[in-house]
Each structure stands twice: as C-alpha cells, then as structure tokens.
Amino acid sequence: MHPDTEDFQRLLHGELAAADAGAVRAHLGGCADCRHRWEAVQADEAQVSSLLARLDGAPPVPDLDAVLRRARQPAWPARRLAATVLLSAGLATAAFAMPGSPVPHWLDRIVQWVARPAPAPSLVPAQLPAPGSSGIAVEPGDRFTIDFASPQDSGTVTVRLGDGPMLVATALGPGAAFETAPGRLFIRNQGARIDYEIMVPRTAAQVELSVAGRRLLLKRGPGIQLPVESDTSGSYRIPLAPERGP
C-alpha cells in the first residue's frame, strides 16, 4: 500500500502516530515514485510558506466556533456550502504555513458538521375545520352569483376580499350543501342555523350574493358596491334572517 497525499501531509505536520510515521518513512526508502510525491508535497509547503512570509503579520486564525454558531442560525442554511468551501480553503492554506497547527482537526470538524443531517423541521399541527363544516372553491370568471336557497332563523355570512384567484365558500357547521353551475354557486341551506365565510378574489370583475333571490351584496370592480358596510377588519357581515316588513 502506497501512502496517499493525506499521509504525507500528516507526516509533514507530525500528526501520524510513531508507528505509522515509521512505516511511511520505511516505504519512502524503497519506493522512488512515493519519494517524488513526498518531495512535491515538501516543495508545495515551502512555496506556500514563502508566500505567507511576505504578509505584514501572521495569517489570521478563523474563530471556527463562531462560524459554526452563525451557520446554525436560520438566516444561514442557504449559505452553508459556500461558507464551508471558503473557510476550508483558507484553513487548508494556513495548514501548510503552520506546521503542527490544529487546523486539520478543524477541517475534520467542519466536514463532520456539513455531512450531519439537518434537523427535521418542527411540525405545526394543522388547524382542523369545525366538526360538520364543509366548503368549496371555484373560479368566479367575469360574472358570478352566490345564491343562498333560503333565509335562516340565525346565522350570518362574512364576505372578505382576498388576493387569491379562487372564490372560497365555507359553511361553519352542518346543514348546508353546495352546488355549482357556470357562473353560479348554489348554497342549499334550508333549515340550517350556521354561519358562512366567503373569500372573494379582489380581481373578480363582478360577484353578487343573494338570499332566496334577494340581492344583499354586489362586488363590481375592486370593491363592494351594495349595500353593506365593512367592519374594522375589512369584512362584510350579512345577516341571513328573513327580510322584515315595514
């Protein structure tokens, strides 16, 4: 077995055990090819040492622990590989310049840290819909009508404007069913006493909401036109009770 480049570097920096160092030196005594490689490693180190000697001061030793702490922060994951490559290159250069330095051990720690699997992201439980609730999502197109089949003794429908492309209607409890047709959503709510939420795309050209044929809300263009007022959150809350006479 011929020594590899790592064996030569460890021998150069005094990092091999005495028995291993003796074995490598014995091999060099009888293998001309390995002697040439060993001489090349020594020449490389001498060249690097000469270049570093021209610096005004000693080469800086990076604070590895600080680098690793910062790399584990949320803002760093995308930069981990780049930071590791740059840091490893700097440490490899310093390793030739400082025989016996601990830099090779630092490199081992970096490699082990990069190879370690990233921690699994914490899972946030999804919010489940209320028991018995149901809903539907449709594309409203240019003109769209939401038609409740009948008034209710109690309950409201809350309309909000959203930035998504879909109109989303949700019944917050049992007792309602949804049916669709081109340009129309039927909500079969006979006998129901529940609330509803409807998210209307802000970009929808025209959306009308009616109860038993009585129009209660009209969105035309960017905003609501008829006839309800929004609350402080920008929601339009419409009672589903029957129309009261004079």
- Using the 8-state DSSP alphabet, how is residue 57 labeled? S
Q: How far is CA 160 from CA 33, 142, 168, 237, in A?
A: 79, 18, 10, 9
Find the mean pLDDT for residues 211-235: 80
Give the residue, 23 or 108, on which the prediction is more confident: 23
pTM above 0.85, yes or no: no
Give the residue, 180 or 99, on which the prediction is more confident: 180
CA 104 to chain centroid, in Å, comes to 34
| 85-119: pLDDT as tens digits | 444 445 444 444 444 444 444 445 544 544 455 44
Residue percentage of the chain with pLDDT more than 90: 25
Q: How far is CA 136 from CA 77, 85, 145, in A?
A: 38, 50, 14
Mean pLDDT over the full length of the chain: 75
Kindly tell me if the per-residue pLDDT of 187 is higher than 90. yes
| pLDDT at residue 57 in the model | 55
| 64-90: pLDDT as tens digits | 566 556 655 554 444 444 444 444 445
